[in-house]
C-alpha cells in the first residue's frame, strides 16, 4: 500500500494568515501545511482519497493524483469537504459517478451544501457527480479493498477514522472509545490528530495523541492536523523516535 499525505494542517493552514510566529515564518518546507487529507493506493490497486479539503486541486496537482475510485469522509466540516467541486476532474477520469462514503450526518450536510454534486443531476462535465453511502462501524468494500470505519468523538459530533489493512487514519478526534480502539491493534502505521500541546475541546492534544498511540501500540505513528504552535523539527525531537510529525508530500510504502 502507498500512502501520500496531501495535507497535514488545521482548518487555518500553516502559515496562518497574518501570523509572524517562528513556524509561520519558517523556511523549512515541512512547516508549510495545507488542510488535512491523505491519498491511498491499496494492495489491490484501489485509489482512495480521505477528505476533499479546500486545497484539493493544488494538492492533487502537487502529488500527481490523477484518478480516484472512492472518497472517504471523516466528517462534514468545511476544511474536510470544501474542495468537493474539484472531484469533477476525477469523474472525468473515472468516466462515471464517484462513490463517496462517511457517516449519515455528513451525508445530510453534503446534500444540503452541495446538492448539485449528487447523482441524478444532468451529466454536463462541469460539476462533480457523487453517490454517497452512509457507513457506521461495519467494514465495507471498494473493489476488493476492505475498509473498516472507526467511530470517534470530535467535540459534540462524531467523526470517522478509517483502517485499511495495517494502516489507520484518525484525524479530527477528541477521543476514541474503547470499542473503536479494539479495531486499531496490530497496525504498522497509525496517523493521529494532534492539534497542539495544550488541551482542546474538539481535538487531541499531543500528550493525548501519545497516550492513544501507547495504548494501541502501532509499529510507527504520525501526527496530523497540526497547528502552527508545533514547529516540525522541534516537535519531532520531543515525540520521537517511533512517532513523527507528518508533513505535506510525505509518502509511505507499507508491506502486507
Say how far apart CA 239 and CA 80 lie, in whole Å: 26
pLDDT by residue, tens only, the chain of 256 residues: 999 999 999 999 999 999 999 999 999 999 999 999 999 999 999 999 999 999 999 999 999 999 999 999 999 999 999 999 999 999 999 988 999 999 999 999 999 999 999 977 777 778 999 999 999 999 999 999 999 999 999 999 999 999 999 999 999 999 999 999 999 999 999 999 999 999 999 999 999 999 999 999 999 999 999 999 999 999 999 998 999 999 999 999 998 7
User: What are 158's three cell numbers?
Assistant: 462524531
Q: Which of 227, 256, 249 is nearest to 12 (CA)?
A: 227
Contact between 40 and 5 under an 8 Å Cβ cutoff? The reply is no
Distances (CA, A) of 79 to 76, 180, 233: 8, 24, 25
Cα 30 to the center of its chain, rounded Å? 17
Contact between 133 and 100 under an 8 Å Cβ cutoff? The reply is yes
Q: Which of 154, 240, 231 is nearest to 196 (CA)?
A: 231
User: What are 79's three cell numbers?
Assistant: 476544511
Q: What is the DSSP string of 136-168?
A: -SS-EEETTEEEEEEEEEETTEEEEEEEETTEE
Cα torsion for 228, 231, 237, 242, to the nearest 10°?
Answer: 50
The CATH number given to 2-253 is 3.60.15.10
pTM of the model: 0.96
Under 8 Å CB-to-CB from 206, ≥6 apart: which residues?
194, 196, 197, 223, 230, 235, 238, 239
Quote the DSSP letter at residue 118: B
Amino acid at each position: 500500500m502507498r500512502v501520500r499525505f496531501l495535507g497535514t494542517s488545521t482548518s487555518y493552514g500553516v502559515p496562518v494568515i497574518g501570523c509572524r510566529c517562528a513556524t509561520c515564518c519558517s523556511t523549512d518546507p515541512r512547516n508549510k501545511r495545507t488542510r488535512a487529507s491523505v491519498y491511498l493506493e491499496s494492495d489491490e490497486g484501489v485509489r482512495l482519497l480521505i477528505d476533499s479539503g479546500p486545497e484539493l486541486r493544488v494538492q492533487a496537482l502537487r502529488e500527481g493524483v490523477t484518478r480516484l475510485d472512492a472518497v472517504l469522509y471523516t466528517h462534514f466540516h468545511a476544511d474536510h469537504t470544501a474542495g468537493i467541486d474539484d472531484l469533477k476532474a476525477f469523474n472525468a477520469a473515472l468516466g462515471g459517478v464517484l462513490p463517496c462514503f462517511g457517516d449519515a450526518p455528513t451525508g445530510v450536510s453534503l446534500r444540503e451544501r452541495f446538492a448539485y454534486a449528487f447523482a441524478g443531476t444532468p451529466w454536463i462535465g462541469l460539476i462533480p457527480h457523487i453517490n454517497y453511502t452512509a457507513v457506521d462501524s461495519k467494514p465495507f468494500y471498494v473493489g476488493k479493498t476492505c475498509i473498516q470505519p472507526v467511530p470517534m468523538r470530535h467535540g459534540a459530533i462524531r467523526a470517522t477514522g478509517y483502517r485499511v489493512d495495517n494502516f489507520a487514519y484518525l484525524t479530527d478526534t477528541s477521543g476514541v472509545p474503547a470499542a473503536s480502539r479494539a479495531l486499531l491493534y496490530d497496525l504498522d502505521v497509525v496517523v493521529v490528530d494532534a492539534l497542539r500541546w495544550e488541551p482542546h475541546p474538539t481535538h487531541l492534544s499531543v500528550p493525548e495523541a501519545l497516550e492513544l498511540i501507547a495504548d494501541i501500540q502501532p509499529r510507527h505513528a504520525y501526527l496530523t492536523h497540526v497547528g502552527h504552535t508545533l514547529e516540525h523539527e522541534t516537535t519531532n525531537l520531543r515525540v520521537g523516535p517511533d512517532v513523527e510529525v507528518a508533513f505535506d508530500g510525505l509518502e509511505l510504502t507499507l508491506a502486507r
